[in-house]
């Protein structure tokens, strides 16, 4: 008899959340590995197409707002002058789901942001009541970066990193990781995600990518194409890439994929692109393939700041990337520069001048709030402001307000809105 598995993507407890092509990629990869081996059901609390969802309508690219309810702020975030919410399907969704589709032998829970663990805790608590006797396992970012904290939630297994052997041992099967993502878990699919390679070849001092995936590996092209085909078959019109370094050595993964995938969907890059790798050739191929949004990781125009954190992209790199996209025929209305807000070395970052510089190139600017992650050099430097052993203090909305001050953050965000309105 095949094991019965419930896959859960939890609700989000945070000051803000928006469906920016959010899908539980890791959970869908594990489910794909169990295809034909286990009987599975997916409960995605962040699925806005679910009949229980009460979120806003999708925009032209499939993004939109989640249903939410206001909650009291946790004690660790009491000092933050922002409203706290729970985002996603109602809390009763799991018990309703289990009543309809249960019983289940295993409950596999995706974790993402470390500071979203309250949603994970809710799911674990609900699963204990709705799925009595089921083994509960956690995997993903929070489970990997904060494993001891994750174990304190009272689960049967915490899967750290990419080694799934403990999970297969728990379920009593051997999954096949060559299988495509389990898109059939959704009744309706408006947007999907793709990832052509795991890990990142770079070592930015604020990023935890190396802890999550120590090695950078290109996925088999056949599997990536199968991920795309299955997403399209189930209705996806927009596909977002979750790669950490999509443009790095494009002939290894990106170009072979685009040769087969061009024109099949609208493609997007919310994880951020390395601007220095946006050559004329790369830009031409992306535009011809159907890429509609281009998020360029800029962070700062300060060369000193970049040398200290990883030398990712300077002012000239951003300018040449924008020029390449313009020459390739990209709509600059879909081009955005990410700038990091709240970094512990913010004084050398020159954020205001950096924002004005990016705006001067004719593109939008977006402030990406810094999250102090334990185990990263820049995250550890933040212990003078917050208790990193409490994952709630990693919150990206909270930390800039704590480290930089409310007035300065509000002023920078107001400038960001003003610059974008002026385009």
| pLDDT level of residue 153 (50, 70, 90 thresholds) | very high
**Rg for the chain, CA atoms, rounded:** 21
Per-residue pLDDT at 55? 65
Strand order of the β-sheet with 266-268 is 191-194, 238-241, 266-268
Q: Looking at residue 151, which CATH number applies to its domain?
A: 3.40.50.280
Same domain, 388 and 316: yes
> Does 310 score more than 70 pLDDT?
no
Give 218's DSSP letter. Answer: E
Residue range of the domain that includes 123: 4-171
Q: Between 301 and 165, name the one with better pLDDT.
A: 165
| pLDDT level of residue 348 (50, 70, 90 thresholds) | confident
Same domain, 260 and 132: no
Total domain count for the chain? 2
Provide mean pLDDT across the span 221-239.
Answer: 97
> Does 256 score more than 80 pLDDT?
yes
Mean pLDDT over the full length of the chain? 95
Per-residue pLDDT at 15? 98
Same domain, 70 and 10: yes
Per-residue pLDDT at 417? 98
Rounded CA separation 321/286 (Å): 12
Q: Considering 171, 206, 240, which residue would you say is the last residue of a domain?
A: 171
Provide mean pLDDT across the span 153-162.
Answer: 97
Q: What percent of the chain has pLDDT over 70?
A: 99
- The single residue listed with the structure tokens 């050739």 is 281
Q: Are 2 and 147 spatial neighbours (Cβ–Cβ below 8 Å)?
A: no
Q: What are the tens digits of pLDDT across the range 170-183?
A: 999 999 999 999 99
Rounded CA separation 404/143 (Å): 29
Rounded to two decimals, what is the model's pTM? Answer: 0.95
Per-residue pLDDT at 16? 97
Same domain, 99 and 147: yes
Q: What percent of the chain has pLDDT over 90?
A: 89
Closest CA to 31 of 253, 184, 209: 184
* Residue-by-residue DSSP string for 236-294: --EEEE--SSTTSSTTTTHHHHHHHHTTSSEEE-TT-EEGGG--HHHHHHHHHHTB--E
């Amino acid at each position: 008899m095949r094991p019965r598995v419930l896959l859960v993507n939890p609700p989000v407890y945070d000051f803000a959340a928006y469906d920016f092509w959010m899908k539980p990629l890791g959970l869908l990869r594990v489910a794909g590995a169990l295809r034909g081996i286990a009987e599975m059901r997916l409960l995605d609390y962040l699925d806005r197409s679910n009949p229980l969802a009460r979120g806003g309508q999708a925009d032209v690219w499939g993004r939109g707002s989640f249903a939410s309810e206001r909650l009291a702020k946790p004690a660790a975030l009491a000092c933050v002058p922002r409203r706290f919410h729970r985002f996603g399907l109602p809390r009763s969704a799991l018990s309703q789901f289990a009543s309809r589709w249960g019983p289940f032998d295993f409950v596999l829970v995706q974790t993402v942001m470390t500071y979203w663990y309250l949603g994970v805790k809710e799911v674990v608590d609900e699963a204990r009541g709705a799925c009595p006797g089921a083994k509960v396992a956690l995997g993903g970012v929070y489970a990997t970066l904060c494993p001891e904290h994750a174990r304190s939630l009272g689960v049967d297994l915490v899967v750290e990193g990419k080694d799934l052997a403990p999970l297969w041992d728990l379920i009593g099967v051997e999954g096949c990781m060559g299988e495509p993502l389990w898109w059939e878990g959704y009744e309706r699919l408006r947007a999907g995600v793709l990832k052509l390679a795991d890990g990142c070849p770079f070592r930015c001092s604020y990023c935890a990518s190396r802890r999550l995936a120590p090695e950078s590996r290109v996925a088999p092209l056949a599997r990536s194409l199968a991920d795309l085909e299955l997403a399209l078959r189930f209705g996806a019109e927009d596909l977002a890439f979750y790669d950490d370094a999509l443009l790095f050595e494009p002939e290894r993964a990106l170009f072979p994929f685009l040769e087969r995938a061009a024109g099949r969907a609208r493609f997007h890059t919310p994880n951020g692109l390395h601007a220095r790798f946006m050559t004329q050739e790369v830009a031409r191929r992306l535009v011809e393939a159907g890429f509609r949004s281009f998020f360029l990781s800029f962070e700062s125009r300060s060369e000193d700041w970049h040398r200290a954190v990883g030398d990712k992209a300077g002012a000239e790199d951003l300018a040449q990337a924008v020029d390449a996209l313009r020459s390739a025929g990209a709509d600059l209305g879909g081009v955005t520069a990410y700038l990091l807000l709240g970094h512990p070395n913010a004084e050398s970052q020159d954020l205001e001048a950096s924002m004005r510089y990016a705006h001067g190139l004719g593109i939008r600017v977006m402030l990406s709030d810094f999250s102090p992650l334990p185990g990263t050099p820049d995250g550890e430097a933040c212990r003078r402001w917050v208790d990193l052993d409490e994952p709630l203090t990693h919150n990206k909305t909270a930390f800039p307000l704590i480290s930089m001050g409310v007035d300065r953050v509000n002023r920078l965000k107001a400038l960001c809105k003003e610059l974008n309105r002026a385009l």
